[in-house]
Amino acid sequence: MALAVGTMAPDFTLRRKTAEGMSDVTLSDHRGKDVVVLLFVPGAFTHVCTDEFCQLSNGTQEIPGAVVYGVSVDSAYCQEAWAKADGISIPMISDFTHKVTQEYDVVLESLSGMGPASLRASFVIDRSGVITYVEVTKSTLDMIDFDGLRAAVSAAS
């Protein structure tokens, strides 16, 4: 069961790869400044994950008022290739060690028989670092509730 609303979001530092190179993303760097959305997805290059992030990237679905990060257990190199291939513009951060997926309690035991991954889940974290919204989809084939997510961001802003 994912972390509950009202819980202090566990801090982390994860890696991100862009054309400029590798960089760190640390959640606590946003504390006191930004509402943060974490979008956990099962895997790069999968159809629902691609559709979800492409809708966010092309403006079909926007989440104004928040810093949005996509999180998967794929390597930062794989995430960069996926973003480049599919025009994904939201920052992708790699939970390659699965530590953050475990801390947020959104572990998918096996993705199509290939081993553990992340469930499809969204978290809104307010400026003080508290989780104010959690959604874990019933199936990895279900997309997140963009309307619910936007309303949660608006309430946290």
Active site residues: 49
Strand partners, 70: 39, 92
Looking at the DSSP assignment, which residues form a beta bridge with residue 72? 94
DSSP state of 130: B
Residue 36, SS3 per DSSP: strand
Core vs surface per residue 126-156: b (16+ CB within 10 A) or e? beebebbbbbbbeebeeebebeebbebbeeb
Q: How far apart are CA 90 and CA 12, in angstroms?
A: 18
Sequence-ordered list of residues with C-beta below 8 angstroms from that of 139, at least 6 positions apart, any chain: none
CB atoms under 10 Å from CB of 20, counted, come to: 6
